[in-house]
Structure 1
Amino acid sequence: MILSTVELNGFRNFKSAFVNLKDKSLIIGANDVGKTNLIWALRLLLDKGLSEYDIEPRDSDFYAYEETHNFKIKLRFENVTDECVVSKLKGVISDDAKLILMYEGICDPVTKSKSYKLFAGPSDDGLEEIQERYYRKVLNLRYISCRRDFHTYINKEKHNLLYLAKENRTGEQVAADDQLIGEISTSLTTIDSKIPQLTFVANATDIINAELKKLSLHHSRQDIVFNAGTSDIDNFIDDVSISSKKDGKSLLIGGDGRLNQVYLSLWAARNEISEANIQEVSLICIEEPEAHLHPHQQRKLSEYLSSSIHSQVIITSHSPQIASEYSPNSIVRLVDRGAGTYAASNGCSEIIEKAFNDFGYRMSIIPAEAFFADAVLLVEGPSEELFYKTLSRQLNIDTDRLNISILMVDGVGFKTFIKILKSLEIKWVARTDHDTFKIPQKEKYRYAGVQRLISFYRANGMADNVLDDLLATHEANLSGFSLPAPQSAKDAVNVLVPELIKHNLYLSNIDLEDDLYNSPIKTALDEFHCNNTDEDEKVVDVVGRMKKKKAVFMYEFLKQHKDSLKQLENEQVAVPLKRCEEIVKGYHEANRATV
């Protein structure tokens, strides 16, 4: 069975949200967007670790931005065929194996007293109130918080793992263990008898008994001894510790990263044993499993958790490395546009999967960091990416602070990126070259750069009656002309480009190289060219060399003359980057105004 959807109405920062889930789902989003709130909604209905007091509604559970007196959390399950669940929940599962559980929080508008109701049923119309979460014995949630107490948990889970492993032995293993335990017990008894014979132990024993007898005559009746207690075989086994071993020597497990891996491995191992023997269905929720791990281990951990935990798993994360390991239609991106948090494309969605089809499914082609961005600047190739990343620093546009990603589309194309960003509801800005291409087998030409922007406008499903009317009048003039271009073609560019800019679609004057050479940094480009060109190459023009070597030229130039980019502050080439900054700042201003 699987938890297929979560519906939240009026709960915390979710005004109205519908979230589709998969067997393995990754929840991403900005800080404070509501990832933990979504998990808490699941826990209210399913977590065995929460008491009746814990699930009582609180003021903070009601919708944060409007006064409301109730909220609802509705969980929909599909393929409910597990015998343990079916036998326990007879009458509330539909004929097509569906189940709905619902929690309703209520606040009396007069007395402000709070209460809740629980419901179960085969459909929305068939929900009936139930008195308790009786189903948790067979249908529940196991939760790992992002605030993990490594040492306490590892010590506790060590005992649980040993107990479960002990319970699952065969008869032969039990007999072999009993024989070995007998041998160990004999050895431990010998150890207990010898420890008091150690000189320093005996001396310490005499000292403490002498002091105690000075305090009270009562202490003369019996002596205090140092007892190792090792002969109690059960306590001895319970006290075994988990340590690291190298070259035959035991070492104390060190950093939090290693402890986190031990923690999750113990947890996964215990659940794997439990699932094989206990009649229940458990949903697994893990917050930020990447804590304290370097990127390679984050990716490996994601793979490990997916393969080692056979239940439905929901993970929240801020890690691009973990995101890169997930199927695209298994990603839930939570978004807040100022009217409450919701899931882009309603969570795990075929829309997102189709958007990735042009990548041949390899998500790693698009840097996963973009999934966490508030705005993305799409540019042509590596030289543009180098340029804009350097320009951002010179213009004091802190892309990391603003959560802006700069991505090149080289080899893939703008449209594929646009479809993906649209499906995840990530704002984007595009800048492309003002190309003029020859039409194959004709002595005619077309303004390919402008046509490209128009295709982006349409691919993104934008709606603009003014632009649509202008396209109906002028678009045909962008193609089929002879050079030099007629005035009608030039007029079409002059009319359409300003309207396309309103949709964050930007066109170079020519291309990046020509635009930079025709800007205030021309002197710096000439100086670099002269100082870094062999004598027999002096005749090569700067723009020609820039286009020939592209990223190599750009890298070397920026390394020596990055400070010159400050002169581009008010130039057209900087506008797309500034637009990304405006989008992010405007988004946060709108959110503050809403709050």
Structure 2
Amino acid sequence: MHISCLSIRNFRNFKSAQLHFRKGINTIIGENGSGKTNLFFSLRILIDNTLPRYFKFYQTDFNRVLDSWAGHWIIISITFDGLDTSEEAQALAIQSSGHMETATQGSYSVYFRPKYQFRKELYEYSQVEGKDSAGLKLLLDKLAIEDYETVYLCRSTADFSIDDIYKKYVGDFDKIEFPDPDDKEELIFGTWLPKEINIHNELSCTFIKALRDVESDLRSYSSNPLISLLRGKEKTVEITKQHEIIESIDQLNEQISSLDEVMEVKNGIDKSIKETVGTTYAPNIDIKSELPNEMEKLFQSLKLWIGDPDEDGHKGRISELSLGGANIIYLSLKLLEYEKVKTDRIANFLLVEEPEAHVHTHIQKTLFNNLKENKTQVIVSTHSTHISSVSNISQVNILSRGDKEAQIFYPSKGLDKDEIIRIERYLDAVRSNLLFAKGVVLVEGDAEQILIPEMFKKVFGLSLDEIGVSLINIGSTGFENVARIFHPDRVRKNCSILTDDDTSIVTLPADPKTDTEYQAHCRASEKSGKERKLRLTDFCKGNTYIKPIYAKYTFEVDFLMNSNSYEFANCLDSIYKQGAAIDKAKEKLENKSVEIAGVEVLRIAGKHGKGWLALLVAEQLVYNTFIPKYILEAIAFAAAHINISSKAKAVLHRIKHIQEHDGNSLQEKAKDFDVKDKSHEEIVSAFIADFKNDQLTTFLAFL
């Protein structure tokens, strides 16, 4: 049995959420504050016996999107798949109407709702002919959190994360329509568990939180998985060996107790007590060694001793381990315990919060790859790209921060097996950060990967990371293989595809047969560019989360021809040793004709490598390096979420650098630009009005 779905309504930062899980390993990834901890807590309320059986919710547990919490319900529901035929599992089973066969799907839910009397009042008011919002508010204002109840039910068939379901069976606060609580609707809400079945006794759940000190758990009798693994093993020890061990311990206890040093202390205590209270009332004193002489207790006294793999021959107590090492030991023991000992439970669950807090990169990846146990469902939360890079996207849920509520994305929804495999092969630890970003720009080469983030930072004073945009170099992988993740059914984040039209930079003759070798190469590139454009246009059609944006020629040429010859010319000293070669190359790069300047920059890039040339150019970027408009458009599409504070920061950066550069025609206007006592909105609006031709204004217009 495993959890296949978690539905959450109105709990903390989840307004209406549904997450999907599979058997085995599942990953929850998301930025800080996206709700990973709240998600785990939702699960634990239902299945973790370390939390109170009837959990107490508070006003602050209601989602803040609600105008008022009064009258609303918090609903958390788990759907189980793969139920076996046991009575305990079938108690959760959702029985199909009219069928008595064994069910394989079940559910368990918690409802935090107004008590019956208040729900009855809401229903009765909804039947009043002159009902209105003012009257409803007067009724809701009487409701206190003490008027709520916590109810646990099984076999629910409703998904209350769906608005229409919630409004029908909980209430429509806008239309003032509420159901009659006397209509039990057991098929919808579920039924009580049989009295003889306690769900917490039928399954196991361990939560390993981030920064957890598991050393105390490894010392605890009740929670130490080593003790659980050893429990009962004493019964399999041969009787003769048991007698030998117990006899030797009895002798050892006697030897310790009869030591002169021990006897001296015993006699001293005995004398002191008798002198204090007299011989009539003084108890008789002795000191005895009590090393356990029962096999069960002897096994309980066993402790793990750990040796560092780099220090052969040395082993120490668990307390000598780093916190990360202790967590690895604990996690491994817990999995073994579930697989070998707790086989009588209908399900085992291991919830691991941010293992990257203690476990370094290589162990993260190895650990995650090797968690392939069959009897335990593992759910890991992370914001580590190293863990997410080895996660199957079919077993990933992505959380993203929204306005007072979490957004949830399923990157594999609707994709076929081959499409999923291609994406998973691509997502290494570098590229998988696209799953965490608020927006993504896909590029196809090293030069774009190096230069675009650098020029954006230099010109606008903002890093792409700062505004939540990941720029990903897809290399030789087709754009479609990755971009298909961004879709209304999957990850609802903007993704720009930044590529080239590859228009020929030289004039091509009408007859291809007369092409020179260089012209033939340009013609072939131009043809490929047109075919790529048609393919991408068709691929993106109808999907508002993907936007293909094209350079006219190719990246280096378009960057150069946008008045950026200065940056390339300043690199020539690092490319050529002879002054004549430098002068010749500079003259060509500064030519206004693409047939001269474009050919030259591609010649240099082809000779020394595009990535290498991009590194040199990156060192020459200045505040007024001109970012081509197609790049601004691509970043703006990916950064549609950018906030006013970031916009204002970019404005202040531009103003500062315009003020500092003599000879700039806008210098005086920049010096007169007043930001005192202005809000961020006012600063941005004033900049747009005063600097209509600045490239920041162009970028803001694209937004």
Distance change in 2, residues 1:256/1:284 (3 Å): closer
Cα deviation code 1:440-467 (max 9, x no counterpart): x978886765774565454344468xxx
Q: Which is higher, the Rg of structure 1 or of structure 2?
A: 2
Return the match for 1:317 from 382, 390, 408: 382
Answer whether contact 1:529 1:542 (CA < 8 A) is retained: no
Cα deviation code 1:500-520 (max 9, x no counterpart): xx9754332432212333355
Return the match for 2:623 from 566, 571, 587: 566
Tell which deviates more after alignment, 310-319 or 173-182. 173-182
1:3 Cα deviation after fit: 2.0
1:37 match: 38
1:103 Cα deviation after fit: 1.9
Q: In the alignment, is residue 335 of structure 1 matched against residue 390 of structure 2? A: no
Distance in 1 of aligned mates of 2:367 and 2:528? 45
Return the match for 1:97 from 93, 104, 112: 104
Answer whether contact 1:328 1:352 (CA < 8 A) is retained: no
Tell which deviates more after alignment, 119-128 or 309-318. 119-128
- Over aligned residues, Cα RMSD in angstroms? 4.2
Q: In the alignment, is residue 121 of structure 1 matched against residue 155 of structure 2? A: yes
Distance change in 2, residues 1:427/1:148 (3 Å): same
Q: In the alignment, is residue 390 of structure 1 matched against residue 454 of structure 2? A: yes
Distance in 2 of aligned mates of 1:226 and 1:39? 50
Distance in 2 of aligned mates of 1:157 and 1:308? 25
Tell which deviates more after alignment, 211-220 or 502-511. 211-220
Trace 1:437-586 onto structure 2 (pairs within 5 A): 449=529, 452=532, 455-462=535-542, 505-519=548-562, 521-535=564-578, 541-554=600-613, 556-558=615-617, 562-568=619-625, 572=629, 575-576=632-633, 579=636, 582-586=639-643
Return the match for 2:483 from 418, 435, 458: 418
Trace 1:146-161 onto structure 2 (pairs within 5 A): 146-156=210-220, 160-161=224-225
1:265 Cα deviation after fit: 1.9
Distance in 2 of aligned mates of 1:339 and 1:220? 72
Return the match for 1:75 from 61, 75, 78: 78
Number of aligned residue pairs: give it: 544
Secondary structure, aligned partner of 1:313: strand
Secondary structure, aligned partner of 1:265: helix
Percent sequence identity over aligned pairs? 17
Cα deviation code 1:85-144 (max 9, x no counterpart): 346557858734222222221146323222122322274472443167733332454333
Distance change in 2, residues 1:192/1:436 (3 Å): same
1:403 match: 468
Distance in 1 of aligned mates of 2:235 and 2:362? 42
Structure 1 or 2: larger helix share?
Answer: 1
Distance in 2 of aligned mates of 1:587 and 1:19? 32
Distance in 2 of aligned mates of 1:37 and 1:450? 48
Cα deviation code 1:393-415 (max 9, x no counterpart): 43432334433322112201222
Answer whether contact 1:160 1:270 (CA < 8 A) is retained: no
Q: TM-score scaled to structure 2, two decimals?
A: 0.66
Distance in 2 of aligned mates of 1:185 and 1:547? 81
Distance change in 2, residues 1:230/1:74 (3 Å): closer
Secondary structure, aligned partner of 2:342: helix
Q: In the alignment, is residue 111 of structure 1 matched against residue 143 of structure 2? A: yes
Q: In the alignment, is residue 15 of structure 1 matched against residue 15 of structure 2? A: yes
Cα deviation code 1:26-66 (max 9, x no counterpart): 1111222222222222222222222234x133223322211
1:348 Cα deviation after fit: 6.2
Whichever residue aligns with residue 243 of structure 1, its letter is W
Distance change in 2, residues 1:265/1:40 (3 Å): same
Q: TM-score scaled to structure 1, two decimals?
A: 0.77
Secondary structure, aligned partner of 2:5: strand
Distance in 1 of aligned mates of 2:420 and 2:538? 18
Distance in 1 of aligned mates of 2:227 and 2:546? 62
Distance in 1 of aligned mates of 2:285 and 2:20? 65
Q: In the alignment, is residue 52 of structure 1 matched against residue 53 of structure 2? A: yes
Secondary structure, aligned partner of 2:369: helix
Distance in 1 of aligned mates of 2:90 and 2:547? 57
Secondary structure, aligned partner of 2:498: strand
Distance change in 2, residues 1:30/1:554 (3 Å): same
2:304 match: 242
Cα deviation code 1:157-190 (max 9, x no counterpart): 6974344334443865353651453255146326
Bigger RCO (CA 8 Å, 6+ sep): 1
Answer whether contact 1:19 1:343 (CA < 8 A) is retained: yes
1:27 match: 28
Whichever residue aligns with residue 459 of structure 1, its letter is F
1:202 Cα deviation after fit: 8.3
2:133 match: none
